[in-house]
Structures are given as C-alpha cells and as structure tokens.
Amino acid sequence: MGKYQNIINAVDTRLKTIKEANGYSSDLGNSVYIWRTEPVNDGKLPAIIIRDTGDELINTLSGDFHTFRLSLDLDIATANKESAAAITEVRTLRKDLMKAIGTDLTFGGLAITTDYESSDVMVDSAANSISGVLIKITITYRVPAWED
Amino acid sequence: MIMNDVDHFFRLGVTSVMATYTNVAGTSKSIEVIFDIPSASVNIQNFEITSSAPKATAKSAEVTDAEEGCSLVIDSKTYKITDARPDGYGLTELSLKNG
C-alpha cells in the first residue's frame, strides 16, 4: 500500500477516535465515511465524509523525491429540530474535528504536515434543520520520485 | 361551486385525521387535516441527506390565522408550522417541521 492510501487510512482512523469517551464533545467518530455517495438519513447524523479531491506536486528534490500537497474535503452534517441548535452543533463538531487533526499533523510520520485551508457552513431545512460544514485541509507528504 | 367541494376531500379516518391546531396566540382547537410525510432530499455541500418534508392540508376557513410559529399535534407528535399557503379555493397547505 502506498503512502497516499496510508494517509487516507490514517485520517479515517483519526476521525473515528472522535468520541465522547475519548474526551471529545461528540460521537462524530461513529459515522465516518470515505467517498460515500449514498444519501445519509437525517436520523443517522452527525456524520462526516472524507474525500481526497486531488493533489499537487509542489517540490522535487534533485529529481529523487516528489513532495505532494494532498487536498482533502471533510464534509460534516448534523440535524436538529431547531436551526440555531443545528448550527451550534455543527460548530461543536468542527471543533472536535480540528482537535482530532491537531493531535498529530504528521499522522504518525506519514506526512510532513497538515494545513487548514478553509471552511464553509450551510444550513437547510426539511423535517429537521440540517446544518453542515465543509472543511478543506491539505496534507503535505514526500515520497521517492514516481512512487505513490 | 368549488368552495363547497372542500369537504369532499376530508374523509376522517380515510384521507384525513384529527389534529390539534394552536395559533401564535396559543389558542388551540381541533381541526381535520390531510397529513402526508413525503421524503425529501437535502444537499449540504456535497453531502446528500435524506429526510422528510411533512405537510398537512387543512380547510382554509379553519386556519385563517396560520403562519410561522403556529403548531399542529398529529398522533401525539408536535409539528411546527413553517409556512401556510392558501390555494384560494378553500384549502391551505401547511408546511411542517418537527417540533
């Protein structure tokens, strides 16, 4: 398995640690998906979907190493009867996510570092208010040239 | 006349149920509604979420003051009215949300 896949797995594993039992404010870690395309029922929220949306070669060292910046979208959604509460919840989930990522920016030495890029918050309404936040991060890692 | 046809849509126990309607002032009364819970899909960023969009159709004459902030209790479950849309022919569709 290449480093790219190992990093995705490490992110997945890290996010699954987000549980109240581990000192977080939510149990977001119970519903972590990678590239889930099937809809999630609002009764199963909160949940998070990880998407590796692309990478960029940012450096080559003497042609022997490639340094990549991998872009990840982390999509969180939650539901509540009240829209204000749904927004408050999503802020709590965002905080938990940031805390989880921040515990080790190298993901056990796989990466050089992890950077926060941006976030977008949304709220919509059906039987419940559903709110979400899309957090974009990048993970910088190095591999021997032409290895994954 | 269309107005007289409204009652034909409401057949208690068949197409309609009894509900407790409470207006913004807190005054309650029993009304007959046609209740439906169609599925709904909500997209939050790239996150597709399935939900439902409950709605009730009432006789306009019974919910003349319906607006956001009113509520309906149907089968012991409370719904907030988020929108009321009279069709101009005697029926009013009430958009509902879990209360």
SS (H, E, C) B1-24: CHHHHHHHHCCECCCEEEEEEECC
Structure tokens at B7: 């009652």
- How many Å apart are CA A138 and CA A121, to the nearest integer? 19
Angle at B57 between CA B52 and CA B59, to 5 degrees: 165
Q: What is the ipTM of this complex?
A: 0.83
Count CA atoms within 13 Å of residue A59 on its CB side. Answer: 9
CB-based contact B49 A131, cutoff 8 Å: no
> Strand pairing partners for A16?
none
The list of chain B residues with pLDDT below 50 reads 1-3
Query: Looking at the partner chain, which of A40, A73, A81 has a beta carbon nearest the beta carbon of B49?
Result: A40
**Chain A window 16-45: which residues touch B at a Cβ cutoff of 8 Å?**
38-42, 45
Under a CB-based contact definition with an 8 Å cutoff, are residues A130 and B52 in contact? no
pLDDT at residue B5, as a whole number: 76
Task: Give the gap in angstroms from C-alpha A110 to the nearest C-alpha of chain B.
Answer: 28
pLDDT at residue B12, as a whole number: 85
Contacts of B54 in chain A (CB under 8 A): 127
Contacts of B40 in chain A (CB under 8 A): 126-127
pLDDT at residue B6, as a whole number: 82
Query: Looking at the partner chain, which of A77, A126, A134 has a beta carbon nearest the beta carbon of B52?
Result: A126
Identify which of A104, A84, A120, A89 has the alpha carbon closest to the alpha carbon of residue A14.
A104
Identify which of A116, A109, A112 has the alpha carbon closest to the alpha carbon of residue A134.
A116
Nearest chain A Cα to B55, which residue?
A: A127
Structure tokens at A77: 């959604």
pLDDT at residue B89, as a whole number: 92
Contacts of B43 in chain A (CB under 8 A): 124
pLDDT at residue A97, as a whole number: 98
pLDDT at residue A88, as a whole number: 96
What b/e readout covers B50-74, taking b as 16+ CB neighbours within 10 angstroms? Answer: bbbbbbbbbbbebbeebeeebbbbb
pLDDT at residue B4, as a whole number: 61
The residues, any chain, with a CB within 8 Å of residue A9's CB and separated by 6 or more, are A1
The list of chain A residues with pLDDT below 70 reads none
pLDDT at residue B1, as a whole number: 47
Under a CB-based contact definition with an 8 Å cutoff, are residues A71 and A55 in contact? yes
Identify which of A70, A73, A87 has the alpha carbon closest to the alpha carbon of residue A128.
A87
Query: Looking at the partner chain, which of A39, A76, A120 has a beta carbon nearest the beta carbon of B50?
Result: A39
A104-135 pLDDT, tens digit per residue, is 999 999 999 999 999 999 999 899 999 999 99
